[in-house]
Amino acid sequence: MNSVLYRNGALFFGAAFAVVVVGFWPTYYSQPLSLKTTLLEIHGFAMTLWCLTLIGQAYLIRTDRRALHRKIGSASYVLAPAVVAIGFVVVRHALDGARDDVFRPSQLAAWLAGDAVLLALALWDYRSSRRLGVFAVAFALMAGYQAAIFTIAEQPPWKAFADWFLS
């Protein structure tokens, strides 16, 4: 494993999260409990928890606290599907026009910046260790999620699920 990535993984994830906070400051972080819908508050909380989990997990591995890392990692079996499901529902809600300002340019810029950071880290990790590590997995998950919300959200089965979930 690349020693720089190993020593600084939590800092890199922290930097990516800082970009997210800047991008979502106007609509979420400056007023987290005053959003128009509870759905957006739940989404913001779940995504924040996910980002903090990434930072914490990298820190726990770095400080050799593997037992705690595994315990917290077990929560991701619930958190990861929840983040994806809530994200799809938020997008579906936005595409229906329920909240037209969900996709502000600053938020899309935060997505792209986060993707760029994860991709750069994945490439750096691959070049130094000749393996696809956690950064490649994180990039693939985020890019796949972002691509899927603009395609799956328009499919009838997903619309039916989102309508059921929102009712």
pLDDT, tens digit (0-9, with 9 covering 90-100), for 21-35: 888 888 788 886 776
Instruction: Write down the H helix ranges in the chain.
Output: 3-24, 38-62, 66-95, 105-129, 134-149, 156-166
Q: At 141, is the pLDDT very low, low, confident or very high (cuts 50, 70, 90)?
A: confident
Q: At 99, is the pLDDT very low, low, confident or very high (cuts 50, 70, 90)?
A: very low
Q: Give me the chain's average pLDDT, please.
A: 79
Say yes or no to pLDDT of 1 above 60: no
Location of structure tokens 């750069």: 120
Q: At 107, is the pLDDT very low, low, confident or very high (cuts 50, 70, 90)?
A: low
Q: What letter would DSSP give residue 25?
A: I
What integer pLDDT is reported at residue 52 of this predicted model?
A: 92
Q: What is the mean pLDDT of residues 21-50?
A: 81
Q: What is the mean pLDDT of residues 88-111?
A: 64
Q: Would you kindly state where each structural domain of the chain is located, as residue ranges?
A: 3-166
Of all residues in the chain, what percent carry a pLDDT higher than 70? 83
Say yes or no to pLDDT of 100 above 70: no
For 44, residues 6+ apart whose C-beta sits below 8 A from its C-beta are 24, 28, 32, 35
* Assessment of whether the complete model's pTM goes beyond 0.75: no
